[in-house]
Amino acid sequence: MRGKLITIEGCEGAGKSTQLALLRAFLSERGVDAVFTREPGGTSVSERIRGLILDAANREMTGRTELLLYAAARAQHIEELIEPALARGALVVCDRFSDSTLAYQGYARGMDLGLVRAADSMGTGGVLPDLTLFLDIEPKAAFLRKGGADSADRLENEGLAFHESVYRGYLEIARREPDRFVRVDAGPTEPERIFASILGVLKARGILL
Ligand SMILES: Nc1ncnc2c1ncn2[C@@H]1O[C@H](COP(=O)(O)OP(=O)(O)OP(=O)(O)O)[C@@H](O)[C@H]1O
Ligand SMILES: [Mg+2]
C-alpha cells in the first residue's frame, strides 16, 4: 500500500523540529517505517539549493528566483526521496512543504497566488500532503522562544510584519482547506502536551492505530 505524506508547518520557532523529534522517537519505538525529511532540502542537490536560498549574502535575490529555487529543490526532493519512499509504503514526514511556499512567497511576499501554485505544482509533480499539521503560534511569541532570528538566514531576517503576513497566510490556508490543513494549538504549553494533540490528530485520521 502506498505510504502517506505528512507535513508540518508553522512560523519560525513554532516548535516544528521539537515536535518532529518527539514523533520520530515515538514511531521508531513502534517500528514504523518512517522517513523524516525537511524543506528546502532533504537530498544533496536540494540542500545545496537551500544554501543558496537562505544565504543572507544573497540580498539581490528576486521573488521569482526564490520561488523557482524552492520549486527546483522540491522537484529533486520528490523524485529522489519522497516518491520512492511513498511507493514502498513508508510514512514520510516533512518539515515544511508547499504550504510554506504559499504562505511565504504568496501571502507574505505578495506574489500572484496562481503563479505560486503553478511553480509549486511543477515542483511537486502533483504530490499533495495527506495531512498537514499547522503549529499555531503567533510569530512574535515563536521568535521569543527561539531567542530571536538567525542573522545568517535570509528569510528569518525579514521583519516582524513579514512574519505576521506569513502567519495570516497560514490561517487563510486553514480556512480554505480545513480537512487537510489541521491547526494544532502550539501556544504556551509544554512540548509533550502539544505532541499529545498531534498524536490525537494522527489517530483520528487513521494514520496511526
Ligand atoms: N512548547 C514549547 N514551549 C517552550 N519552548 C519550546 C516549545 N517547543 C519548542 N520550544 C523551544 O523553542 C525553540 C524553537 O523550537 P523549534 O526549533 O522546535 O522550532 P521550529 O519551528 O523548528 O523553528 P525553525 O523555524 O527555526 O526551524 C527551541 O529552543 C525549542 O526548544
Ligand atoms: Mg526547525
Domain holding 76: CATH number? 3.40.50.300
Q: Name the DSSP letter for residue 106.
A: I
Q: Is residue 209 part of a domain?
A: no
In a domain, 29, yes or no: yes
The pairs formed by 113-122 with CB atoms below 8 angstroms and a separation of 24 or more are 115/67, 116/67, 119/67, 119/68, 119/70, 119/71, 120/70, 120/71, 120/74, 122/71, 122/75
| Structure confidence by residue, pLDDT tens digits, 47-104 | 999 999 999 999 999 999 999 999 999 999 999 999 999 999 999 999 999 999 999 9
* pLDDT given for residue 48 in this prediction: 98
Number of independent structural domains in the chain:
1
Is there a contact between 136 and 201 (Cβ–Cβ < 8 Å)? no
Cα(209)–Cα(205) distance, integer angstroms: 9
Is 28 a domain residue? yes
Is the pLDDT reported for residue 143 higher than 90? no
Mean pLDDT of 106-125: 97
150 has a pLDDT exceeding 90: no
Residue 107 lies in a domain: yes
In this structure, the residues whose C-beta lies within 6 A of any atom of ligand 1 are: 10, 12-18, 145-146, 189-191, 194
- Has residue 122 been placed in a domain? yes
32 within domain boundaries = yes
Query: What is the domain extent for residue 121?
Result: 5-204
Is 45 part of a structural domain of the chain?
Answer: yes
Ligand 1 atom closest to the Cα of residue 190 is 1
Cα of 175 to ligand 1 centre, how many Å?
Answer: 25
What global pTM score does this model have? 0.96
Residue 17 lies in a domain: yes
* 23 alpha carbon, closest ligand: 1
Grid coordinates in use for 17? Answer: 523540529
